[in-house]
Amino acid sequence: MQELFSVANKVALVTGGSRGIGRMIAEGFVRAGARVYISARKAEACEATAAELAKIGTCNAIPADLSSEAEARRLAAELGEREPMLHVLVNNAGANWGAPYEEYPDSAWDKVLAVNVKAVFHLTRALTPRLEAAASDADPARVINIGSIDGIQVPALETYAYSASKAAVHHMTHVLARRLAPKRITVNAVAPGPFESKMMAATLERFGDSIAASCPLGRIGTPEDMAGVAIYLASRAGAYVTGVVIPVDGGIRA
């Protein structure tokens, strides 16, 4: 069973890995023995998180602003200079924007879609040769896209571009899963519910008790909940799973 769920010595890249859900996944991989690279837009925060995680395992930082295709290509190239193969890519970097319907700006759509949707495509495409190099029939390479339950159900808050972008991520997961399967690369998505993160901080501060009360399991998600599903998808246990969106929300969607 330890081998079935092992990610030891696998090379993993987690975008948006300096905080929130990205850090939860990165730390889970580090503790499980993977060689982890994290990327984030703010170099100082990225380096600081990598230094903290390096105290418990192997973690390195490659800062990048994935809102542009050029930066996605640069990140892929820099990783390629360090690692000939990439076993796991976690597309987690994301942006949000809330504003009333009558005032929602066009700039919100540009920013959110660039980071949440286009970056997933650009980075996955740029890293496909490295993923293919790590893949085998028995243990494919993995792409794990971080979506949201807001991309499955109507969100409570006015975050129009965000919920639309996450729905797009879910559908692109299906499309890429079909496209990359012949290369022995699986593509799946995780749709988190409420977790403690900077993006969710203001919402949880105002509505945390009611959100927890509305959750069938009666609580907010923990880092272990997010690390667990990522390790499952990245390990041999998840090798025959592709093209699915897994809600991790304590039953809220149900």
**pLDDT lower than 50: segments of the chain:** none
Domain ranges within the chain, ordered by starting residue: 11-248
- 11-248: CATH topology: Rossmann fold (3.40.50)
Name the active-site residue from 101, 162, 232, 240.
Answer: 162
Residue-wise pLDDT tens digits, 203-222: 666 666 777 888 899 999 99
The three-state DSSP-derived secondary structure of the chain is CCCCCCCCCCEEEEECCCCHHHHHHHHHHHHCCCEEEEECCCHHHHHHHHHHHCCCCEEEECCCCCCCHHHHHHHHHHHHHHCCCCCEEEECCCCCCCCCHHHCCHHHHHHHHHHHHHHHHHHHHHHHHHHHHHCCCCCCEEEEEECCHHHCCCCCCCCHHHHHHHHHHHHHHHHHHHHHHHHCEEEEEEEECCECCCCCHHHHHHHHHHHHHHCCCCCCECHHHHHHHHHHHHCHHHCCCCCCEEEECCCCCC
Say whether 162 is catalytic: yes
pLDDT of residue 204: 66
Q: Which percentage of the chain shows pLDDT scores above 70?
A: 96
pLDDT of residue 212: 82
What predicted TM-score, i.e. pTM, was given to this entire model?
0.94
pLDDT of residue 157: 86
pLDDT of residue 68: 96
